[in-house]
Amino acid sequence: MIFLIRTITRALLRRSRGIRIDPSRWTALLAELERRGERRREAGAFLLGTCEGELREVQDVIFYDDLDPEAYSSGVCILHAPAFAALWSMCRARGLTVVGDVHTHPGGAFQSEADRTNPMVAREGHIAIIVPNYATGRPATARIGVYEYRGNHEWADHSGALAHRFLHNDFWSTFL
């Protein structure tokens, strides 16, 4: 019965694709990104979870600097190969996969040329989320950059007014 209710509700709210994260986890993630970036440099994390069709469900978070202590030393997020080996090992141990990544930018939540040409996970369907102003002030979803990797350095932009249909981080995300 609950499965049927969820299916109907998702269909009505069109939440059958994108990425879903519990609102309390989202709030905690933003606060931790702000803290780790010290409001002056980029910080980021991998979003671990499961995939059901085109909908990704975030169940855990691994911060870049937990994988590579030097990840933020240049002021932007850079991870070295051993960090990815550790990430894949954690995914296997937890029975999860990387469904997306999130990192902060100064100013706006645009996708830089470096972001576009160097995806953290170059797998079709991977979602990259960019949070403006180093995650200070808890930005509204419409101000967050949401990009879906299509392969071959091509991205679908789900930012701005489209973000609500792709990034599900609100009250209803708890139930759907």
pLDDT in tens, 46-72: 999 999 988 999 999 999 999 999 998
Task: Show the tokens assigned to 18.
Answer: 């994108």
Return the pLDDT at 13: 53
* Total-model pTM: 0.88
pLDDT band of 175, cuts 50, 70, 90:
very low
* Nearest to 107, CA basis, from 72, 145, 51: 145
Mean predicted confidence (pLDDT) in 16-29 = 92
How far apart are the C-alpha atoms of 109 and 129, rounded to whole Å?
A: 8
- The answer on pLDDT for 173 being more than 60 is no
Q: What's the pLDDT tens digit per position in 110-153?
A: 999 999 999 999 999 999 999 999 999 889 999 999 999 999 98
72-104: pLDDT as tens digits: 888 888 899 999 999 999 999 999 999 999 999
In terms of pLDDT, which residue wins out, 131 or 16?
A: 131
Could you tell me the domains of the chain? 2-174 (3.40.140.10)
d(CA 77, CA 127): 16
